[in-house]
Amino acid sequence: MKLKDIGEFGLIEKIKQTTSIPDGVIGIGDDCAILPQDTLMETLVSTDMLVEGSHFLRSDVKPKQLGWKSAAVNISDIAAMGGKPLATFLSIALPPDLESEWIDDFISGYSECCTKYGATLLGGDTTSCEDKICINVTVLGTCPVGSAKLRSTAKVSDLICVTGNLGDSAGGLKAILEHRPRTEDCKRLIERHYHPVPRVVEGLKLSKLEGIHAMMDISDGIASDLRHILKSSNVSAEIDLSKLPISDELKAVWPEDLYNLATSGGEDYELLFTIDPSIISSISIPFTVIGTILPNNDNNTIQWIGSDTVFMGFRHF
Give the separation between CA 111 and CA 278, rounded to whole angstroms: 40
Residues 264 and 224: beta-carbon distance below 8 Å = yes
Q: How far is the CB of 139 from ligand ADP (least distance, A)?
A: 10
Q: Which is nearer to ligand ADP, 186 or 226 (CB)?
A: 226
Instruction: Note whether 268 binds ligand ADP by CB under 6 A.
Output: no
DSSP, collapsed to helix, strand or coil, labels residue 138 as strand
Stretch that binds ligand ADP, among 23-31, 109-117, 188-196, 280-288 (CB under 6 A): 23-31
Within a 10 A sphere around the Cβ of 223, how many other Cβ atoms? 23
- Say whether residue 25 binds ligand ADP (CB under 6 A): no
If one asks whether residue 77 binds Mg ion (CB under 5 A), the answer comes out as yes
Beta strands in the chain (DSSP E): 33-36, 41-51, 84-94, 120-128, 134-144, 159-162, 212-217, 235-240, 271-275, 288-295, 302-305
Min CB(268)–ligand ADP separation in Å: 12
- Bridge partners of residue 159, in order along the sequence: 275, 292
Residue 269 backbone class (left: φ over 0; alpha: ψ -120 to 50; beta: rest): left
Which C-beta is closer to Mg ion: that of 28 or that of 280?
A: 28
Asked whether position 30 contacts ligand ADP by CB under 6 A, the answer is yes
Number of other CB atoms surrounding residue 247 within 10 Å: 20
| Piece of 29-37, 159-167, 246-254, 299-307 that binds ligand ADP (CB under 6 A) | 29-37
Interface with ligand ADP includes 12 (CB under 6 A)?
yes
Other C-beta atoms lying within 10 Å of the C-beta of residue 297: 13
Instruction: Considering the complex, state which of residue 45 and residue 156 has its C-beta at the smaller distance from ligand ADP.
Output: 45
Whole-angstrom CA distances from 80 to 77, 101, 251 are 5, 33, 27
Q: Which does 15 bind (CB under 5 to 8 A by kind): Mg ion, ligand ADP, none?
A: ligand ADP
Give yes or no for residue 305 binding ligand ADP (CB under 6 A): no
219 binds ligand ADP (CB under 6 A): yes
Which residues make Cβ contacts (< 8 Å) with residue 281, sequence separation at least 6? none
The yes or no reply on residue 124 touching ligand ADP (CB under 6 A) is: no
Q: Per CB under 6 A, does 57 bind ligand ADP?
A: no
Tell me which residues touch Mg ion (CB under 5 A): 31, 77, 80, 217
Tell me which residues touch ligand ADP (CB under 6 A): 12, 15, 28-31, 48, 77, 219
